[in-house]
Structures are given as C-alpha cells and as structure tokens.
Amino acid sequence: MKWEIIHRTQFAYAGPGRDSFNEARLQPFSDEWQTVDHFLLKILPAARLRHHHDFYSNTVHHFEIVEPHTMLSIESNLRVTVKSRPALANDATPWPLARIGEAAREPRVFDFLQDSRFVETSPEAWRLALDATADTTDTWQAALALMAFVHGQFKYESYSTGVHTHMREVLRERRGVCQDFAHVMIGLCRALKIPALYVSGYLATETASATHAWVEVLIPGIGWRALDPTHNRQPDETYVRIAVGRDYSDVPPLAGNYKGTTERQMQVSVSIRPLN
C-alpha cells in the first residue's frame, strides 16, 4: 500500500513565546517492509532544520526559534510504501518460553528487558503475566496470550489518560488508549523476560486516520514481531512505523521547551489517504 500522510500540529500562545527549542520524531524508517518515498517538514515561523539519529536509530529533527512568536506550526508531509509482512501463524511454537532467558544474549536487547519511565516489571505485572500465560510453554504463544489479555481486560476510552500516564495507573483503572495498552503489554512481556519495545506510528482504517502505538516482541530465531494489543492483531500494511523505544518517552512526535506564557492551545490533525 502507498499512503500520503499529512500531520499538522499548531500551538497558539496567549502571549509571545521565545527561545523555543524543539525535537520532532515524524520521519518514518525505511527498511525491508517500508519505504519513505517523500518527506517534507514545514515549520512556521520559519526555522532552520537539522537532524540526527538517536540511540534507537530514529530520525530526530531539531530546530529553534529565538525571536518572540505567538504561534508555532509543525507540518509533516509524507508519502510511504508499506508491504504486508508475512504474519507468523497463531499456532506457531518457534521458541520455548523456558529458554527465553537466552534472548538477553541478542545485541541491543538490554533496554527492552528493564523498567523504563512509563513501564515497570512490578510483582503485580509478573502475577498478571503468569495468570495470562498459564499452561503456555512457547514464547510466541505467550506473547499472543498477553496481547489478548490486555485487549480483553482493559477498556479503550478516549481521553481517559494523558501522555504522561504510567502503566501503574492503567493497571489500577483498567482503561486507557493505545499508548496505555502498549505500555501494559510491554510491562507484562518484560516481567516474563520477553524483550518488548514500543512502536509509534500511524494506522489508517476505514473510519479514522490517527497516530497509533503498538508493540514488538523478540522471538529468538525469528526476530522482532509486531503485535497490536489495542486491536488484538498482528499489524499489516495499514500500519506505518515511525519510531521505536523503551516506551512513549523515547518517541514523542514533538518535544521541546520555550520561555514565556504557560497558557497555550494545541490542535493536532492527521490526514491519511491511500495512493494506490
């Protein structure tokens, strides 16, 4: 599938802001399954863009606006081609769960086995993970069971949480949005020593176009496999992968700081249309 995606974010300040320093993680990966055909990032007031790759190989654009301004607009215009990755069969048993400790030997896995800012491998998470995977002896089957558990036991409720909501609160309230579903599943996976990372991106459906979050788990001998606990499925060509990290704190689309009023309004819109 070929997609055109326009992602606009606009800030309106009650008074002039200045010395604004910002980072944007809006440019997706290009890899075997996804090719970025075009990417353009527009900033108003106009600013010089620089970019680098962070520790997790995400593309990070950064810019600064020193002069006073009462609005800030960031728009990314993207065209991307996504191939449907062959799904791993739901009845596959590629790696014994009893040997999952060997996954820690894989390169650059350490971060995805530890607690992080919004995720923790608490005794409660460990107990829930054990209950959800009772009688499961395979790592892939355990990951599928954890995805189904999060999907079935937690209620999706728009605006019920914020971007700084910790997994602990989601476990207590049993509700949240895609970001929270991903954090909970990651915590349950890590509690069982299954490496799990956070993915930010876009999801295009028949009824909506939006930013989205899901999970990738490492299955030794197979590699990283994507799972979406919000929809209880393996992602397909309707998913566009932007950035990965330990949790949301590593991949916010926009992050920054400025001097001036704290009173501001933010408007975000995402438009996704197929080009096929």
DSSP state for residue 232 in the 8-state scheme:
T
Nearest to 160 by CA among 142, 141, 179, 137: 179
Give pLDDT, residue 217: 98
Cβ contact 156:177 at 8 Å: yes
Based on DSSP, count helices (H) and strands (E) in the chain, helices before strands: 4, 13
Nearest to 200 by CA among 245, 154, 255, 230: 245
- Residue 105 CA to residue 172 CA, distance in Å, equals 34
Tokens standing for 110? 């350490």
Whole-number mean pLDDT of the chain?
A: 96
pLDDT tens per residue, range 32-65: 999 999 999 999 999 999 999 999 999 999 999 9
Tokens standing for 249? 């704190």
**% of the chain surpassing 90 pLDDT:** 95
Per-residue pLDDT, averaged over 59-82, amounts to 97
- Residue 197 CA to residue 219 CA, distance in Å, equals 12
Q: What angle do CA 149, 155, 161 make, to 5 degrees?
A: 115
Q: Which distant-in-sequence residues (6+ apart) come within 8 Å of 131 by Cβ?
A: none
Neighbours of 172 (CB within 10 A): 10
Give pLDDT, residue 24: 98
pLDDT tens per residue, range 229-267: 999 999 999 999 999 999 999 999 999 999 999 999 999
pLDDT tens per residue, range 191-206: 999 999 999 999 987 6
Give pLDDT, residue 204: 84
pLDDT tens per residue, range 100-151: 999 999 999 999 999 999 999 999 999 999 999 999 999 999 999 999 999 9
- Residue 213 CA to residue 229 CA, distance in Å, equals 9
- Residue 209 CA to residue 211 CA, distance in Å, equals 7
- Residue 59 CA to residue 51 CA, distance in Å, equals 7
Q: Which distant-in-sequence residues (6+ apart) come within 8 Å of 184 by Cβ?
A: 150, 154, 167, 170, 171, 176, 229
pLDDT at 207 over 80: no
* Residue 43 burial (10 A CB sphere; 0-12, 13-18, 19+): middle
pLDDT at 162 over 80: yes
